[in-house]
């Protein structure tokens, strides 16, 4: 199959215009969810159709694209979306955060600090932070219109009453530019501080729910909290077993059925970069040994 | 009378030119006060700058009611060019327009006459594209707001001279409001509704 059968970056031009107009309004009203006429994409809902449409609308031949899924460049979702744009747009792809101009992400913000010439595109499953508190769209829309966010604070308070702390660990609600409460997509709350005053433009696409929203660069993003229960990012209290990083977000990997486990960076590019720079963790020899024995496959 | 065949052509490569133009406008909107350049050019009828023409070809279509100032709407070549290349319906009622094209700032009507969006749907507002004399010389302005790292400065020669004072309505209206795109030849600066502008006088 050859790419020229498709328009550049798959979407037709009328669709791109519609999405581009939505992106401009989203940037002008930080944190507000702009409705858009989401299209069917050649992948199922839940696989990043919103992010893919945003990426398709902004991508140009000069761009270098990186796609991550839970921080990893080499999971099925990340690889298939990267290949999709390599095929339909012919763009260069990379796994290095530094080199990318457009980064599409599912559920993580890279550990490496982003810079001004980058756009971070989030895949969003449920864009409405109030949806599980109030199922009616007419009501949540009015709550946003009136900046009536008491319900969200009640939810966080109930967490404290029940668990003694705010138990929301991902999709932790934020307030953007002191106005709209926004769902940062299911990123771990560890990543929330990276959204604040970020030099890169952040765009969010929800395909099934047909919403696009944005955080312009250098915009205040505050995680909701209480004076006596301030927001705290969470990470496993361990160094990465492969690169020894003490400040990265970790995945817990179960290694046997006897309770064995290891913690490794969820951001594979960051972890590999650190290992290449000579950092080691307690188990860092293991994957190299495996690779040497594995031989042909890999 | 001009026939369709005599109209100035649109983009030579409409896909990649539209992409490149959009990225310039997106960067302008994301970083208010920064001057972005529009590279791909389309020939435009008189009264329309090259940058404006590229933006029209990139963002307008049959879904975007378009309002023109008196000078533009009186030019039949202009109306024909826009209708042929973009298909955008040209409306007389500025309060239903997605975009407004202002060729001469002196003809800018009161901003309240454009669509300001609603509290529920603040995105349903008019994006006003104003052609100005210069975006690198003239009065000095200080800009603050989302997209700006502290303070941005803009040198610009703009009509109407009180444009930024008029845009103060955005402060009280937010999240409703008017987003403005300034064009001077191939240079673009965006002033979204979140940007606060202070006039620092001439330099």
| Token pair belonging to B127 | 């994006």
Across the range B182-202, mean pLDDT stands at 93
A215 CB neighbours in chain B (<8 A) are 146
Q: Any idea which residue has 């599980």 for tokens?
A: A132
Q: Of the listed A71, A207, A271, A273, which one is catalytic?
A: A271
Residues 6+ apart with CB under 8 A from A163: none
* pLDDT at residue B41, rounded to an integer: 77
Provide, as residue numbers in chain B, all residues whose Cβ is less than 8 Å from the Cβ of A118: none
pLDDT band at B203 (very low <50, low <70, confident <90, very high): low
* B175 vs B190: CA distance, rounded Å: 17
| CA A87 – CA A98 distance, rounded (Å) | 23
pLDDT, residue A4, reads 58
Active site residue A240: yes
pLDDT higher than threshold 50 for residue A292: no
Q: For residues A207 and A191, give the distance between their C-alpha atoms in angstroms, rounded to a whole number.
A: 23
Chain B environment of A148 (Cβ under 8 Å): none
Tell me which of A243-252, B39-48, B112-121 is least confident.
Answer: B39-48
User: Does A198 qualify as catalytic in the annotation?
Assistant: no
Residues of A with CB below 8 A from B98's CB?
A: 21
Mean pLDDT, chain B, integer: 94
Indicate the residue of B61, B98, B123 with minimum beta-carbon distance to A29. Answer: B123
Give residue B1's pLDDT: 61
| Catalytic pick among A48, A205, A240, A281 | A240
A77 has a pLDDT exceeding 60: yes
CA dist B198 and B142 (Å) reads 5
Give residue-wise pLDDT tens across range A44-56. 988 999 999 999 9
pLDDT at A295: 40
Please state, rounded to an integer, the average pLDDT across all residues of chain A: 93
Structural domain boundaries of chain B? 9-104+114-202
Residues of A in contact with B59 (CB under 8 A): 17, 20-21, 24
Closest CA to B130 of B153, B161, B171, B155: B161
pLDDT tens-digit series, residues A125-157? 999 999 999 999 999 999 999 999 999 999 999
Does residue B43 register a pLDDT over 90? no
Confidence band of A297 (pLDDT split at 50, 70, 90) = very low
Residue A265 is among the residues annotated as catalytic for this protein: yes
Parallel/antiparallel/unpaired status of strands B134-144 and B127-131? unpaired
**Tens digit of each residue's pLDDT (9 = 90 or more) over A171-211:** 999 999 999 999 999 999 999 999 999 999 999 999 999 99
> What is the CATH number assigned to the segment(s) B9-104+114-202?
3.40.50.11310
- Name the CA dihedral angle for B39, B44, B50, B51, rounded to a multiple of 10 degrees: -90
Backbone dihedral angles phi then psi of residue B20, each to the nearest 5 degrees? -65, -40
pTM of the model as a whole? 0.95
Note the residue count of chain A: 298
Average pLDDT, integer, range B71-76: 94
Query: Among partner residues B120, B148, B149, which is closest to A141 by beta-carbon distance?
Result: B120
Going by pLDDT thresholds of 50, 70 and 90, the confidence category of residue A293 is very low
The whole-number pLDDT of residue B167 equals 97
Nearest by Cα to B157 from B120, B199, B94: B199
DSSP assignment of chain A equals --GGGSBTTBS-HHHHHHHHHHHHHHHHSTT--EE--PPP-SS-TTSSHHHHHHHHHH--TT-EEEEEETTBSSSHHHHHHHHHHHHHT--EE-S-TTT-SEEEEES---SSPP-TT-EEEEE-S---TTTTT---HHHHHHHHHTT--HHHHHHHHHHHHHHSS----BS--EEETTTEEE---S-BGGGHHHHTT-SSEEEEEETTTTEEEEE-TT--EEE--BTTB-------SS--TTT--SSS-EEEEE-SSSS-EEEEES-HHHHHHHHHTT---TTTHHHHHHHHHHTT--
The C-alpha of B108 sits at a distance from chain A's nearest C-alpha, in angstroms, of 21
Identify which of A149, A121, A151, A138 has the alpha carbon closest to the alpha carbon of residue A56. A121
Q: Is A243 a catalytic residue?
A: yes
Confidence check: pLDDT of A296 > 80:
no
Predicted pLDDT at A125? 96
Q: How much is the average pLDDT of B16-37? A: 97
Name the residue among A25, A141, A216 with its Cβ closest to that of B146: A216
Facing residue for B15 by CB, picked from A7, A22, A35: A7
pLDDT computed for residue B201 by the predictor: 74
Q: What is the 3-state secondary structure (H, E, C) of chain B?
A: CCCHHHCCCCCCCHHHHHHHHHHHHHHHHHCCCCCEECCCCCCCCCCCCHHHHHHHHHHCCCCCCEEECHHHHCCHHHHHHHHHHHCCCECCCHHHCCEEEECCHHHCCCHHHCCECCCCCCCCECEEEEECCEEEEEEEEEEECCCCCCCEEEEEECCCCCHHHHCCHHHHHCCCCCEEEEEECCEEEEECCCCEEEEEEEC
Number of C-beta neighbours around residue A13 at 10 A: 15
Q: Rounded mean pLDDT of A266-276?
A: 96
Minimum CA–CA partner of A140 in chain B:
B120
Choice among A3-12, A91-100, B191-200 with the minimum mean pLDDT:
A3-12
What Cα–Cα distance (Å) separates residue A206 from each residue in A13, A122, A127? 20, 9, 6
Please report the pLDDT score of residue B202 as a whole number.
62
Of the residues B21, B27, B39, B123, the best mutation for testing chain A's interface (the one with the most A CB atoms within 10 Å of its CB) is B123
A76, burial (CB in 10 Å: exposed 0-12, middle 13-18, buried 19+): exposed
Alpha-carbon distance A92 to A61, whole Å?
A: 8
Q: Is A271 a catalytic residue?
A: yes
B119 pLDDT more than 50: yes
Which pLDDT score is estimated for A5? 75
CB contact under 8 A, B120 and A144: yes
Question: β-pairing, B66-68 with B36-37?
Answer: unpaired
CA distances from A53 to A45, A57, A66, A218, B18 (A): 12, 6, 15, 24, 16
ipTM summary value:
0.97
Verify whether the Cβ–Cβ distance B59 to A20 is below 8 Å: yes
Which residue among A48, A71, A207, A243 is the active-site one?
A: A243
Tell if the CB–CB gap between A27 and B14 is shorter than 8 Å: no
**Catalytic residue of the set A31, A48, A207, A273:** A31
Query: For position A291, what pLDDT does the model report?
Result: 46
Whether the pLDDT of residue A81 is over 90: the answer is: yes
What is the mean pLDDT of the segment spanning A16-21?
A: 98
């Amino acid at each position: 199959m050859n790419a020229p059968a498709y328009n550049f970056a798959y979407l037709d031009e009328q669709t791109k215009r519609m999405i581009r107009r939505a992106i401009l309004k989203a940037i002008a009203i930080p944190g507000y969810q702009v409705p858009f006429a989401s299209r069917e994409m050649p992948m199922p809902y839940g696989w990043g159709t919103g992010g893919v449409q945003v990426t398709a609308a902004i991508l140009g031949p000069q761009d270098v694209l990186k796609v991550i899924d839970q921080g990893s460049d080499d999971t099925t979702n990340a690889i298939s979306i990267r290949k999709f744009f390599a095929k339909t747009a012919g763009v260069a792809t990379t796994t290095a955060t530094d080199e990318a101009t457009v980064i599409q992400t599912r559920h993580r913000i890279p550990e490496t600090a982003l810079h001004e010439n980058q756009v971070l595109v989030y895949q969003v499953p449920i864009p409405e932070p109030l949806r599980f508190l109030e199922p009616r769209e007419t009501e949540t829309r009015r709550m946003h219109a009136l900046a009536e966010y008491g319900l969200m604070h009640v939810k966080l308070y109930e967490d404290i009453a029940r668990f003694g702390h705010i138990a929301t660990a991902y999709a932790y609600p934020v307030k953007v530019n002191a106005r709209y409460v926004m769902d940062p997509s299911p990123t771990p709350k560890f990543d929330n501080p990276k959204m604040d005053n970020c030099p890169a433009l952040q765009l969010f696409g929800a395909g099934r729910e047909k919403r696009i929203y944005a955080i312009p660069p250098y915009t205040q993003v505050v995680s909701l909290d209480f004076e006596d229960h301030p927001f705290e990012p969470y990470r496993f209290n361990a160094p990465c077993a492969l690169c020894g990083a003490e400040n990265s977000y970790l995945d817990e990997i179960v290694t046997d059925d006897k309770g064995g486990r290891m913690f490794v960076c969820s951001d594979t590019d960051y972890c590999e970069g650190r290992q290449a720079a000579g950092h080691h963790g307690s188990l860092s020899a293991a994957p190299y040994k495996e690779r040497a024995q594995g031989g042909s496959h890999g | 009378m001009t026939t369709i065949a005599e109209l100035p052509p649109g983009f030579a490569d409409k896909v990649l030119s539209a992409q490149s133009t959009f990225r310039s406008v997106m960067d302008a909107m994301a970083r208010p006060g920064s001057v972005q350049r529009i590279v791909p050019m389309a020939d435009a009828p008189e009264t329309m700058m090259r940058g404006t023409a590229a933006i029209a070809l990139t963002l307008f279509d049959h879904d975007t009611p378009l309002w023109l100032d008196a000078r533009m709407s009186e030019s039949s070549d202009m109306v024909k060019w826009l209708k042929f290349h973009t298909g955008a319906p040209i409306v007389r009622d500025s309060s239903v327009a997605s975009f407004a094209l202002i060729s001469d700032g002196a003809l800018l009507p009161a901003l309240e006459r454009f669509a300001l969006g609603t509290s529920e749907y603040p995105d349903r507002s008019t994006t006003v594209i104003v052609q100005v004399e210069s975006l690198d010389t003239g009065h000095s302005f200080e800009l603050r707001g989302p997209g700006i790292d502290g303070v941005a400065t803009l040198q610009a020669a703009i009509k109407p001279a009180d444009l930024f004072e008029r845009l103060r309505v955005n402060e009280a209206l937010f999240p409703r409001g008017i987003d403005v795109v300034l064009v001077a030849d191939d240079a673009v600066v965006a002033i979204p509704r979140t940007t606060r502008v202070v006039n620092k006088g001439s330099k």
